[in-house]
Amino acid sequence: MAETMFLFWGSGSPPCWRIMIALEEKKLQGYEQKLLSFEKMEHKSSEIMAINPRGQLPCFRHGDTILNESFGACLYLENQFKSQGTQLIPDTGDEQALVYQRMHEVLTLHEKLGTISGACIALGPGSYIAGKNFTMADVMLFPQVAFAVRFGLSTDKYPKLMEYYMKVKERPSIQASWPPHWKESPPTLDVLKDV
């Protein structure tokens, strides 16, 4: 099944990373993929503009179905492969409501990284962002947190968030999809050190 999937992605991009984590969690390894360079403006190439006129990554295709929004692609994967791999959206009303709530709060976080403290408030000791299990809300949140850490978020100020980061970082899906250029080069910017 994964052979009919294709992902265009950029290293270190939280939206791209979300889809990669979801693919790993849903046991869809073996999908076709192409790593593009933002630096070389490959996301504005005719190859990408033809699929995504916004000229952004990720671009995801499954057969003839194209999804260029990370939330859409992740939800699509969960719905199409519900009984495969990790269940990322719980069945019961209360649990599902919390996962949806947290997922959409990540959008606010993306717009305004300063609200990162909001994520800290939601984290109980040893828990994931929507309770005791890893869910779609973590798929959405983790790349954003890792991005903030990479760009110098003051880790001393956010002990609960760091505990979450250190725990989730070890998950096989996260390790398998860790941005390749982060492995090779140390952080060079600390623009978030005062956040």
Q: For binding to ligand GSH (CB under 6 A), which residues are involved?
A: 10, 13, 15, 43, 55-58, 69-70
* Nearer residue to ligand GSH within complex by CB, 58 or 179: 58
Contact 137, 128 (CB under 8 A): yes
- The number of residues in the chain equals 195
* Nearer residue to ligand GSH within complex by CB, 6 or 133: 6
* Nearer residue to ligand GSH within complex by CB, 109 or 166: 109
CB of 10 to ligand GSH, least distance (A): 6
* Nearer residue to ligand GSH within complex by CB, 43 or 62: 43
Return phi, psi of residue 123, to 5°.
-90, 120
Please give the Cα distance from 119 to 141 (Å, whole number).
9
CB of 71 to ligand GSH, least distance (A): 6
* Nearer residue to ligand GSH within complex by CB, 66 or 166: 66
CB of 126 to ligand GSH, least distance (A): 29
Please give the Cα distance from 73 to 181 (Å, whole number).
24
Contact 179, 187 (CB under 8 A): no
Strand partners, 59: 8
CB of 98 to ligand GSH, least distance (A): 21
CB of 157 to ligand GSH, least distance (A): 25
Contact 145, 164 (CB under 8 A): yes
Please give the Cα distance from 33 to 46 (Å, whole number).
17
